[in-house]
Amino acid sequence: MSILVDENTRLLVQGITGRNGMLHARLSKDYGTRVVAGVTPGKGGTKVDGVPVFNTVEEARRKTECNVSVIFVPAPFAADAIMEAAASCVELVACITEGIPLLDIARVVKSLEGGSTRLIGPNCPGVISPGKARVGIMPAHIHRPGNIGIISRSGTLTYETVDQLTREGLGQSTCVGIGGDPITGSSFMDMLRLFESDKETEAVILIGEIGGTAEEEAANYIRQGYPKPVFGFVAGLTAPEGKRMGHAGAIISEGRGTAEEKIKALDEAGVHVVHNIGEVGTVVRKTLGKT
């Protein structure tokens, strides 16, 4: 099994006629993902690599039954693109776009409450269920099907972790990049719940970084009796206070959001904390008793 996306995913690419949208639509299609539609206002009636382009999400949804959207729309228009997909009841939206104003994304997240659409991101690499579907920008060739779930705030560290697991002979059920902005549509806890219900996910890796309280909240949830092994890594041990490091959300403010605090919380919750990113694959393999 997997979470969020699988062989039944019917993918819509919002912004498909742009450079990144066109490239990753093609890569996802080549991977075997069912890319059924694209949306670019004013480009309706055209095609990109055989994929029909529509002017609106509503039209694309009605004519192709797309159930997942990936957004490559520029930041000033990305919030409206998310809400357009939600208004058409698209089940899952992965927003790759970075630089969306916080007020915009706060408005989006509020509007999605109680609705049927789940948002991944923004400013994220998306989701991949190896061998089934690729939604976003993750490098498909390093993944292999298996039973390790990954949840990460960092795209680059996701790729590093996946590469290690694959080299250790450990495949992945689903890899989810939740994004590194201060406000995101889905949290570590949200994804932990989904992996908890996925019978074929044996263990979960949580990759965090400085800033915010998402890792501490996840630790509190795990402490209540999470039934599967959880491994954790937190980037940013040497980050100076008050200086943003990479992601918009990666900032230590008034002594809060430090890597030390997060590591302590995860460790006290029973998470197998790895202190060197280069050792994640080996630690997971040895802890799970894989040969």
84-141 per-position pLDDT tens digit = 999 999 999 999 999 999 999 999 999 999 999 999 999 999 999 999 999 999 999 9
pLDDT for position 212: 85
Q: Are residues 279 and 192 in the same domain?
A: yes
pLDDT at 287 over 80: yes
Q: Are residues 262 and 187 in the same domain?
A: yes
Q: Are residues 116 and 147 in the same domain?
A: no
Q: Are residues 157 and 224 in the same domain?
A: yes
Is 3 within a domain? no
Give 272's strand partners: 231
Q: Which one of the listed residues 141, 247, 272, 275 is annotated catalytic?
A: 247
Q: Are residues 274 and 186 in the same domain?
A: yes
Instruction: Give the helix ranges, DSSP H, for the chain.
Output: 19-31, 57-64, 75-87, 102-112, 155-167, 188-197, 214-223, 259-268, 280-287
pTM check: above 0.85? yes
Q: Are residues 149 and 36 in the same domain?
A: no
| Cβ neighbour number for residue 217 with a 10 Å cutoff | 14
CATH of the domain at 277: 3.40.50.261
Q: Are residues 223 and 114 in the same domain?
A: no
Return the percentage of the chain with pLDDT > 90, whole number.
88
Q: Are residues 54 and 176 in the same domain?
A: no
Q: Are residues 148 and 282 in the same domain?
A: yes
Determine the structural domain holding residue 90 and report its residue range. Answer: 10-120
Is 133 within a domain? no
Collect all residues with Cβ–Cβ distance below 8 Å to 264 and sequence separation of at least 6: none
Q: Are residues 156 and 281 in the same domain?
A: yes
Q: Are residues 28 and 114 in the same domain?
A: yes
The band of 240, judged by pLDDT with boundaries at 50, 70 and 90, is low
Domain tally, the chain: 2
Mean pLDDT throughout 4-26?
98
Q: Are residues 112 and 151 in the same domain?
A: no
pLDDT tens profile 193-219: 999 999 999 999 999 998 888 999 999
Question: Is 24 in the active site?
Answer: no
Is 131 within a domain? no
Is 2 within a domain? no
Burial 39-54 (b: 16+ CB within 10 A, else e): bbeeeeeeebeebbbb
